[in-house]
Structure 1
Amino acid sequence: MPVLRVEDASDPRLSDYRDLTDVALRRVIEPAGGLYIAESAKVIARAHRAGHRARSFLVQEKWLSEVEGLAGEAPVYVVSDAVAESVTGYAVHRGALAAMHRPAPASLAEVVADARLVLILEDIVDHTNVGAAFRAAAGLGADAVLVSDRCADPLYRRSVRVSMGTVFQVPWTRLPAWPDAAPLLREAGLHLAALALADDAVPLDVFAADRPERVALLMGTEGDGLSRRALEAADTIVTIPMSGGVDSLNVAAASAVALWALR
């Protein structure tokens, strides 16, 4: 494990970690098949256990021991708090970052092969919501997560952090666009249940009482909800009964409620 102390924030060896607060810049060095950033020793350890390989580490001195068993041959750049903040653009309170190589994406058939409960996220662009939905999926028994092409990246730093690293333990992949996705999901034996507001929607508790053996829950954005094509592809429209003048929940909260009901 090469340990290299770096005192200059402009050092080119730290380029993977520069300006992490800017999503547009991250897309330049985190393309599909490229890199993603894991933050905190706990998250890095989960990525390591999932078989993901690090390209390098950026740590503050007091966190060096936390990554010693994870680095292998990857260089570990040790920096001061001030250098870490100057490079990344924010205070790195969790002390350890890793630039990780993205694994090859799994096929849809592989991800849902034995799944009885699948969460589908359509066009959720907020990384925090994506991370929270993955955490709910991991904690409440979903076997897989599928994300639409326009959905925020589950391996973006904020998504990974909010998920507490559970994006590494729940199998996931990108879903083809509708209507192409529907026959692929049905071939896998999945009943498509769309969470949406509709006059003919089935209350979640009623649906859960006689749930199909294999279910895929479709979740859309808070503003627009699921797309017309997603609703047309659904076998059942399901709603969470609400009160207090509230008509819906945040997508991550709704995912958790629905997953708990169908666990």
Structure 2
Amino acid sequence: MSRPAVIAHRGYAGVAPENTVAAAVAAADHDETAMLEIDVQPAACGTPVVFHDERLDGTRDGRPITDAEGLVWETALEDLESTHVLGTDETVPTLEALLEAVPETVGVNVELKNPGTTDLRFAESLSEDACGRRRDVWEPFVERVVDACDAFDGEILFSSFCEGALAAARDVAPDYAAGALVWDDLEAGLEIARRYDCEAIHPPRNAIAGTPLATEPYYGLPADEPALDVVETVHDEGRTVNVWTVDTWGQFDQLAAAGVDGIIADYPGLGSRSF
């Protein structure tokens, strides 16, 4: 049985300052890394920058994520580029700068995190009218993201929890692969993946039936054995399953045995241990 592809979550956020150029370059240098996973949203001028949280003054494990404050999309690009991440010398990069720094032999999963609004309609399957409105909100930002990605000759996969983002990505860049990120509703995630003929679906690690992880609490998500075998269903439809997010080799092995295609991991080496 083939081993799942290893996708470096925010550039292996467990060992490096997440979503920075240094993290991405270091992650790409690991032999097992098939793909980087990063988050994008706009600076005040609309330029796509690589950052996860809405606000610059969030925390990670009790420490400030940056030395700045305020909403990312209300912050000038020059200020973001001088904002330090997790007490390091690394700053918030533009998507263009990060893609220029990593080799094109490594793929990049660009998660469309936010177009610059607090009204995201997160992890919802939308009506046609609602989706059209959300697509219109996302489209100008997605166009900027695609412009940056067009200069990168490696593999690009767009993913999002927001249906409006996937709709915009399909309209703006139909030749790029897309992945539907799933939160607490597998059926809704599958519906969205089918609606946009997504190449991949990205469920949480406790959504994989038949594994011990399926009955473990994770991010407040349901901790019951899933009624739906998402791996079998998605494979039958010709899509791939990339699971988020793994912290230990034991978790990695459980998901590998279940037949997932990719594992989004916080640490390098989880899929290539030898002991």
* TM-score between both structures, scaled by the size of structure 1: 0.29
Name the structure with the higher helix share: 1
* TM-score between both structures, scaled by the size of structure 2: 0.28
Largest Rg, 1 or 2: 1
